[in-house]
Each structure stands twice: as C-alpha cells, then as structure tokens.
Amino acid sequence: MEWVFILLFFVLILAGVYAVARHQVGHKVAAKRLPIVFVCLAAAFGTGALFRLVPTEWKDHVWTGYALLFSFAVWIFLAISLQRTAQAGDILLELGRPRRGLVIGIVAGVSGAFLAIGSIVQAMAESNAGAATQLRYLSGGVFWLSFCLYVSFLWLKKWPIRERGIMAYGQLLPWEMIEDFHWEKGKPSILALSVKRRFGWWRTAYLRIPTERQKAATEILERNLLPNIEGGSAG
C-alpha cells in the first residue's frame, strides 16, 4: 500500500510540473520536457528508495548528510545565479516575470517557511529519540527552506535582456551560445532560442515574452545574433 501512495505522489508531481510548464509555454513545449522531468523525478525517488535499504542505526545520519548536501548545492546554485547576473552587464530590455511568477514565488516561499517550522516542531517532539533523530528533522527543515527559497527566487526575479545575453530562471544565456531564434507558430508570444549545448534534448530554450515587448526583443536579438547566424551560414 505504501508503494501505491508513493506512485500516486510521483504522478501528482509530474502532473503538477506539466501543468505549470503548459501554462508558461504551451502544451507542445511542455510535452517535450516531460521525459526530462520524469527522469529527474525517477532519480530522486530511486535515491529515496535506496536509502530505505540503509541499516536502521545509520538512517538518521545518512538522511542528515543527504539533506545538508543538497541544501549546500542549492545555495551554490543561488550564488552562481547572482554572480552571473552581476557579470551580465546593463539591462537592455525588461521582459517581466514568468506568468504567475509572483503567485508561485510567494507560495514557494511560504511553503518553505511552514515546512521549516514543521521540522523544528517535529524535532522538539522527538526529544527523547536522540540527537541524531532531531538533527535529521532539523536538516530536513534546512533543505526545504533552502529549496523553496531558491524556487521563490527563480519565479520572483524578473527576466531581462542584458548586454551579454538573456537572463531567465537564474541562468545567463550569453549571445555566443545562442545560434538562432524564432517565434513559435501558433504561439506568437513564445520565443524559441537555439542554444549550443552538449545534450541535444536541451538545445532549445523557450521563453514567453509579453506582446508589447516582442518587437523590441526581436530588434535586440537580431542585432546581437547576426554575427552568430552569419557565421553558422558560412560554416
């Protein structure tokens, strides 16, 4: 019965991610991203399943290390994002936040606070279980707070086109990495960027651009990407 609930939870997360992606960039693009999301979720759940095989006396220590390691990784990603923003130059055009970015960002931040408080309360309630168990709950609170704050940061932060490239979801896409662009057929507000990457399944980035900023965005893209496009044609 436990595996049924885990599977249901897995499906609900997958459906939720798809719903958010569809709202942002449409069904076609969201469907393309589903296999990648599925693999990431399967890896996360698979890791959790493996930890269940850890001897009982080590479980608290392993979960604590796991939570703190991922919390550290989250803060590293946040620091890298802030560094890239600082090095990206002046803003050429403000594209605004992702659709419903304000709502999602606030919900993520509040959820992180509640999960952290819940973990502290649980740790206090388990005062008789030993320091290792309490530390496990506290480290879980640190992880959820870090993760939710990072998600909140990504969704609340506005997307700008800067001197050195485009900032979106905490990433900088420098001009030299963008080979070409086009506006999706049937979805004129969706900008598709062909990006130089090692993995073929992630070489197209999709951004929803407000209608009133599309003309200005096109002019900036054409001006900055013309050398890349001409160089690719010549090759």
More confident residue, 42 or 72: 72
Q: Which domain holds residue 206?
A: 54-234
Rounded CA separation 115/200 (Å): 37
Q: What is the mean pLDDT of residues 107-131?
A: 86
For residue 233, what pLDDT band results from cuts at 50, 70 and 90? Answer: very low
DSSP letters, 186-209, are: T-TTEEEEEE--S-GGG-EEEEE-
Query: Do 149 and 68 lie in a common domain?
Result: yes
Q: Are residues 164 and 214 in the same domain?
A: yes
211 shares a domain with 112: yes
Half-sphere exposure of 96 (CA within 13 A, CB side): 14
pLDDT of res. 191: 86
Residues 21 and 73 in one domain: no
Q: Please compute the mean of the pLDDT values over residues 6-32 and round it to a whole number.
A: 70
- What confidence score (pLDDT) does residue 142 get? 92
Q: In this structure, are 102 and 152 located in the same domain?
A: yes
162: confidence class by pLDDT, cuts 50, 70, 90? very high
Give CA–CA dist 217/160, Å, rounded: 10
pLDDT per position as a tens digit, 121-151: 888 888 777 888 889 889 989 998 998 898 8
Segment 186-224, tens digit of pLDDT = 666 788 888 887 665 567 888 888 888 889 999 999 888
Report DSSP state, residue 158.
P
Q: What is the rounded average pLDDT of the residues 91-114?
A: 86
pLDDT for the residue numbered 26 = 66
Q: How far apart are CA 119 and CA 136, in angstroms?
A: 9
Lowest mean pLDDT among 6-10, 92-96, 108-112: 6-10
Res 235 pLDDT > 60: no
Q: How much is the pLDDT for 216? A: 92
**pLDDT for res 25:** 66
Q: How many domains does one find in the chain?
A: 2
Q: Which of 29, 53, 77 is the last residue in one of the domains?
A: 53
The model's pLDDT over 80-91, given as tens digits with 9 standing for 90+, comes to 888 888 888 899
pLDDT at 187: 66
pLDDT tens-digit map of 23-70: 666 666 677 767 777 777 777 777 777 777 778 778 888 888 888 998
Q: Both 42 and 58 in a single domain?
A: no
58 and 47 housed in the same domain: no
Report how far apart, in Å, the C-alpha atoms of 26 and of each of 19, 151, 188 are.
9, 21, 11
Same domain, 62 and 142: yes
Both 58 and 48 in one domain: the answer is no
Q: Are residues 84 and 24 in the same domain?
A: no
Same-domain status, 135 and 44: no
Rounded Cα gap, residues 87 and 163, in angstroms: 10
Task: Give, as one character, the DSSP assignment of residue 213.
Answer: G
Indicate if 130 and 68 belong to the same structural domain: yes
CA 97 to chain centre: 14
